[in-house]
Structure 1
Amino acid sequence: MTLITATALRDLLTTDAPVRVLDVRWTLAHPDGRDAFAGGHIPGAQYLDLDSQLSDHSRTCLGRHPLPTGPALQKSLRGLGVNDGETVVVYDDAQAAGSSRAWWTLTAAGLTDVRILDGGWAAWQSDGGQVETGPGRTPVPGDVTVTVEDLYDGARRVLTRDQAAHIGELGTLLDARASERYRGETEPVDPVAGHIPGAANLPLTSVLDEEGRFLPADQLREVFAGLGVQRGDDDPVSGAYCGSGVSAAVLVAAADSVGISLALFPGSWSQWSQDLVDEPDSTTGLN
């Protein structure tokens, strides 16, 4: 199960079931969501920092948000009180980007019950969920075990740069960025504008409704089928990328929720475009 509703989470928190809630508020403009967390969060939630705990910036040539190592992720999760056997629920307040990155990273690390709060913080509030303020409670250290040494070789399919370059020959490569970035009309972050040759544009907003919830299952299947993506693990690989491997996880999560498997190119356009700068004779990806 990929998603959980606010109502279902509220009900779950009233039981004796082991549940850990992680707040992953993050945006490109405001990557540190601690102030928002302190202003109001789900009672008992812990803040999971995308930039420092779901990324490892010491790993070079892998884009703007390289994946953390398994041992580093285990240390972070234990520090947040995560235990083996718990249901982990992740949420954010920005179109599911932070929570989808957390969901992808934790499941790639081998955690088996990780769910995205559908609609995020807004859904929790509109559903009448209680609100806690302040820096959060000090957790008892957890005992969660991450057996994966490197998440690039973890439990979820990952595309390398070379695989992303050729995926169009077998399957479909989806670009989760806004259409104007895909078309190369603007590029506010990376050194080159454009997209990976052969990629199709599917902005992450295409799989969400106006309230930031994932579309119903039948609509999601239609969206993906419209771009030729409707098959599972045993069929030609399809994948997704974005600017730096964060918002593309929204497409992967949406697909996963309806039984469709998408691989993730974690380096995404940030890695691809930097390689173009470093290797100016290679293809630009511009149309």
Structure 2
Amino acid sequence: MRISVDERIQGTNLFFREYLEGYRQRVHKYYSDAFNKRSDSFPLMKPTLMFAVHLDKTTFFLFIESDQDHVENIVATDEQNQEYNEMMSVPDHIREEYITQICSVAGNKVIKRKSLNDLAGLSSNAFARKHHGIIPGAGFKWGEKEADWDYRVYQLEIAIVKTVKFSADFPLFDIDAITARVNDDQFRYEFEESIKAYNAGLYLASSITAAVSVETLMKLLFIKHIGKSRLPQKYFITNLVEELKAKEIVDEKMYHRILSINQLRRGVAHSKTGKVEQWDAEQIIGSIKIIVESLF
């Protein structure tokens, strides 16, 4: 069921301030030390202008640093909707640039981007009128989750800085043979950064970055065997490997191996203690070797 633009505008106005409040309370309560060390990692702590761009089928939110918290709703014209709908097969960053142009702001001013689906967990009817009574509470929780996400990004940023001086040589096997076999710059970068983090003893960063490279491998396989035009707008390890299994590109054993990697990644990313063992990182990195040798 498509939610009307008017419903989404009302929902936007209801969630915005609670979203910021949830975010800021979370940062003050749990991440104050990180914020004091690197305030730019938590951009919504500053007064924020949020543009809400309402297209026919969805809504995009662009956050801009401002002198006060406020929201501006922009309803796309018929021409803008048509132009956006014609961009479904182009890379994400081009569509993002188009949304930015609708707001008439410079891209470098945008401190965060979200879609309605991002906020509501892929449920585009979250702003339906029947849900308006619970939107403020939901907005607060969405803000808390966003603060948690920014803290994870902060951890990775710190880890990457620490790993710059570390080697990308892996003690268990030759990673050059793996990256050469895939022959993709994005995968090479992600995999090497994972190895650097591993060598630095930063197993959380290593595991998460390695899992990102698995997602890249799934994307490359999907494009090669199914086609770039059929790549989902929102893709994850799980939905890509489901399609690859359905097309018999990966067998049952490999399918479950990849799902296991994803489960391990999720466990690592949501660890309450933040502690990740060397074994966890080695399991994901070793599985990447098996995936590449079997499928590339």
- The TM-score normalised by the length of structure 2 is 0.27
Q: TM-score, normalised by structure 1?
A: 0.27
- Which structure features the higher share of helix residues? 2
Higher RCO (CA 8 Å, separation ≥ 6 residues): 1
